[in-house]
Amino acid sequence: MKEGMLGTILGIFVVLVILVIAAFGSGALFIIDETKQVVITQFGKPVGQPIISAGLHFRTPFVQQAHYFEKRILNWDGDPNQIPTKDKKYIWVDTTARWKIIDALKFLQSVGNEIGAQSRLDDIINSATRDAVTNHLLVDAVRDSNRILESKELGEDAIFADEALERIEVGRQQLTRAILEKTKVLAPQYGIEIVDVRIKRVNYVEDVRNKKCWRLSMVLKS
């Protein structure tokens, strides 16, 4: 008698486990992690709004498909660009950006996946950076204030390149902000929000750098 009851309980338990496993296996039940969001499609046609809340969710198995997307802030790292400034100096500009998927459905429709998104971001951020840098002097991309010029006027001795004596009008932070504003407007059509764009590295291109070193040596020696 006792053994029979145990058998029944065990039986129910096993059946339940099998059911749950089957539910997960067929995809009827699925888990969305805190870091993910999901778009449900039925034969390729989107069903309802993207699911952004994490937890256990249900869909019709075999018919509906779940597409997972990141919910967190993602990286974008630009390829360094060789860009001439307004005063015809060639520099390498390396930008970095943070972005996230705010409209998973639009994201799925317009760019498909993260790799697609990265390449669209390449396009819009690189061109915005190029526009911003070519419209300004080299010092604008480097400095943020005229502080050192003012201190030079106060008579502190410093080694100055001629082009460094230009006063800045915009400055690096403003320049960055301009790039961000411009890209921010373009991103929503991909379901993307650009959180931040920053100029990471600004450097002379190789031969200018060598010349620069040489020139600096000369200035230092004179």
Partner 1 sequence: MEWKDNVPTPDDIIDVGKKKMGDFLRWLPWITLGLFVLIGLKGVIYSIGPDEVGVIQRFGKYIGLSSPGLHAKIPFGIEKVTPIKVEKIFKEEFGVRTVRPGVRTEYSSAQYLEESLMLTGDLNILDVRWIVQFKIKDPVKLLFAVRDPQDAIRDVSEVVMRRLVGDYTVDEVLTTKREEVDHLSQQEMQKILDFYQTGVQIVTVKLLDVNPPEKVKPAFNEVNEAKQEKEKMINQAWEAYNKVIPKAKGEAEKTIREAEGYALDKINRAKGEAERFLATLAEYKKAPQITQKRLYLETLMDALPRAKEKYIIDPKQSSILPLLNLGEKGGVKQ
- Interface residues with partner 1 (CB under 8 A) are 3, 6-7, 10, 31-36, 53-56, 70-75, 77, 96, 98, 138-139, 142-145, 147-148, 158-161, 163-164, 172-173, 195-196, 198-204, 209-210, 212-214, 216-218, 220-221
Report the C-alpha gap between 94 and 206 in whole angstroms: 15
Cα 1 versus chain centre, distance: 66
Shortest separation between residue 140's beta carbon and partner 1, angstroms:
10
Nearer to partner 1, 7 or 48 (CB): 7
* Nearest to partner 1 of 44, 55 (CB atom): 55
Name the minimum Å distance from CB 81 to partner 1. 14
Chain center to CA of 182? 15
- Nearest-angstrom CA–CA distance, 108 and 117: 10
CB-wise, 49 or 215, nearer to partner 1?
Answer: 215
Task: Give the nearest distance from C-beta 33 to partner 1 in angstroms.
Answer: 4
Sequence length of the chain is 222
Cβ nearer to partner 1, comparing 144 with 169: 144
Least distance from partner 1 to the Cβ atom of residue 43, Å:
26
Phi and psi for 66 in degrees, rounded to 5? -105, 130
Nearest to 36 by CA among 76, 73, 68, 74: 68
d(CA 71, CA 101) in angstroms, rounded, equals 6
Taking the complex as a whole, the smallest distance from the CB of residue 50 to partner 1 amounts, in Å, to 15
Which CB atom, from 22 or from 43, has the smaller least distance to partner 1?
22
What gap in Å lies between CA 173 and CA 147, rounded to an integer? 15
